[in-house]
Chains A and B, each alone.
Chain A
Amino acid sequence: MAATTTAKTLPMAKALNESLRKALETDPKVLIMGEDVGKLGGVFRITDGLQKDFGEGRVIDTPLAESGIIGTAIGLALRGYRPVAEIQFDGFVFPAYDQIVTQLAKMHARALGKVKLPVVIRIPYGGGIGAVEHHSESPEALFAHVAGLKCVSPSNPSDAYWMLQQAIASDDPVIFFEPKRRYWDKGEVDTEAIPGPLHKAAVVREGTDLTLVAYGPMVKTCLEAAAAAEEEGKSLEVVDLRSISPLDFDTVQTSVEKTGRLVVVHEAPVFFGSGAELAARVTERCFYHLEAPVLRVGGFHAPYPPARLEEEYLPNLDRVLEAVDRALAY
């Protein structure tokens, strides 16, 4: 993106903070709620300074109870508010999973469209920060599987800013997965730009030999892999999905029809993961264009390992390139 007068360079965490600030300024019905989001500004400081400026009535420190946070967010939404709830870490969302799946996701349909649930649930997710158990997980497939929810994950500060704006403006519940290991990565954010649609994938690097599809934290890894592959004379296209549900199969299809090969990369375990869904769809849509089976790079069917092992566990440049080589060998 070309630099403009309104663009600034921000880390993703700050872009999210500014996006929340903008939402609070723009719409008096927007509320922020979660554990430690007030004075502390959240454990990742994403809500830093917001309670000071908007008050305890709009930036609400909640009791330490995730089901309670989401259940009351639903009630507030029914009353006309637009809650943006923060779940402190990926692995702590499960006490709220019942409210999200049985209530939040289905209430609009249950009411035959008479009620709307504009609730955003922000979840810092993924590994790579050397954390203890339950702080490094990638549960996005568990939510994408549920009709009634939308799931998105930005990979860079600009998308973080704009996709959060759009998620808050959405009348549907949106699970907003924030790649926590990328919180401190900087990028250009133009707060006056006209953003593209929330649920559209982006081709972030063009190539001709193979398509890498990723989202959230793995986009950066894939871009690095594509740069390394270029030195070996391989031209990789990288698609940043941005949205996991709905998933922009059209953009993936267009890319795979061009390259004939697809490798999907995510931190989440590959078994029943979003890569499995992509493999099935691409096989349906691009069968005669495929030069190789769709391959996946991701987590194993094992609990997320202790931090000392996560460097080996997480997909990295070498693991991506190994899969690329396998796909290109066909």
Chain B
Amino acid sequence: MTVESTAARSKPRRSSGKRTTTSGTRKRSQAAARPELVQLLTPEGERVEHPDYSVDLTPDELRGLYRDMVLTRRFDAEATALQRQGELGLWASLLGQEAAQIGSGRALRDDDYVFPTYREHGVAWCRGVDPTNLLGMFRGVNNGGWDPYSNNFHLYTIVIGSQALHATGYAMGVAKDGADSAVVAYFGDGASSQGDVAEAFTFSAVYNAPVVFFCQNNQWAISEPTERQSRVPIYQRAAGFGFPGVRVDGNDVLAVLAVTRAALEHARSGQGPMLVEAFTYRMGAHTTSDDPTRYRKDAEREAWEAKDPILRMRTYLEKEGLIDADWLSGLDEESDALAQRVREAIRTMPDPDTMAIFENVYADGHALVDEERARFAEYLASFADEEGR
């Protein structure tokens, strides 16, 4: 394996790369305040062009992206409601981040592999993971209830940023195998402060690993704004590691799709890692346990509501005459059906058997686990005897 990064030599495909290196006359604070943002669909639903990134989608594909976002939001709202009703212990809502997740998720090929955080419900949807499977860990019946290999979608990782290294290692393996798959590591603005993310940048760069770092900068790491994580726009960090970074309007599903496709192609074609910063907003709380009124103002949220990812896509589709009332009411029905299916699934989701505590602790077994399992079974059985009396 070569340790020389081809990414370091290749020209970034974005014009902003040039700007960041030639902005000597501009004040840094200005550069930070007005970073270049790749956008193909304005908040008003106007289709615009970008010199470096473009998409050419069929009406079905455009409608599909909208449908994905609507269904994901509905699923998410249902899960939040189920938490309020006591069916889930916790829920981490993706409200507001639908475009970032659907745009990137739909850029993937089946053979690509995804390492999510615990909020990638939209990406999971794109990968074909049954949404009801995502609920197990939030209900407390498991710690991740799906087979990562069946959809090439890894388990949710709760420790912030750890998965960036797993993605990098997996991508190193992809390169060793001579495959042209790509790997995506999802993480957030808070995670960008973690050492593991920095180490993932280093490893992926020196091994030229085919990994895309997809950072959803949703502006808040629980109560801390991005300014508490970074003095420069997050995408600019890539330059220091020797690979390109780009900031995309994370509420613009078309731009996210275009940029992610380009980043995946960059990885596939042997050019190594790339960092995508999807500039978005966490419309809801960090999780259902959080209270954002303690640290952020309503006005900020309202400003972002005007940039809503679903609304702008709907405006665009309507303006183009690609959807009509019939189609929308069909989607409403589909939405309702999904919500109902989720609701039923959660209410009938069985608690695991007590002895599941001892399952899968080791692949090859462990004498102590066997001993404790036997003793605990005996203990439990002693109550059964009493009840039987």
The size class of the interface chain A forms with chain B is 35 or more
Interface presence of B344 (CB below 8 A): no
Closest to B357 in A: A109
Are A115's CB and B149's CB within 8 A?
yes
A79-B174, A103-B162, A114-B148 given; A71·B360 CB < 8 A: no
Complexed CA–CA distance, A78 and B167 (Å): 9
Interface presence of B363 (CB below 8 A): yes
Complexed CA–CA distance, A170 and B144 (Å): 24
Contacts of A171 in B (CB 8 A): 363-364
Interface set, chain A 98-157, CB cutoff 8 A to B: 98-99, 102-103, 106-117, 147-148, 150
Binds A, one of B86-94, B194-202, B294-302: B194-202
Q: Which of A72, A113, A245 has the most CB of B within 10 A?
A: A72
Return the contact of A76 from the options B155, B159, B164, B172 (Cβ within 8 A): B172
Closest to B181 in A: A79
Binds B, one of A9-17, A58-66, A186-194, A233-241: A58-66
Closest to B142 in A: A112
Return the contact of A112 from the options B1, B360, B368 (Cβ within 8 A): B360
Interface presence of B166 (CB below 8 A): yes
Contact with B along A158-184 (1 / 0, CB 8 A): 000000000000111000000000000
Interface set, chain B 10-57, CB cutoff 8 A to A: none
Distance from B91 Cβ to chain A, minimum over Cβ atoms (Å) = 19
Distance from A309 Cβ to chain B, minimum over Cβ atoms (Å) = 33
Interface presence of A209 (CB below 8 A): no
A72-B165, A72-B168, A103-B166 given; A110·B195 CB < 8 A: no
Return the contact of B172 from the options A67, A75, A106, A248 (Cβ within 8 A): A75
Question: What number of B residues sit within 8 Å (CB to CB) of A?
Answer: 44
Interface presence of B173 (CB below 8 A): yes
Interface set, chain B 126-178, CB cutoff 8 A to A: 142-145, 147-149, 154-155, 157, 159, 162, 164-174, 176-177
Are A68's CB and B368's CB within 8 A?
no
Interface presence of A324 (CB below 8 A): no
Complexed CA–CA distance, A324 and B172 (Å): 53
Closest to A31 in B: B176
Are A68's CB and B196's CB within 8 A?
yes
Complexed CA–CA distance, A201 and B368 (Å): 14
Interface presence of A30 (CB below 8 A): no
Using a CB–CB cutoff of 8 Å, the interface residues on chain B facing chain A are 1, 3, 142-145, 147-149, 154-155, 157, 159, 162, 164-174, 176-177, 195-196, 199-200, 202-203, 206, 359-364, 366-369
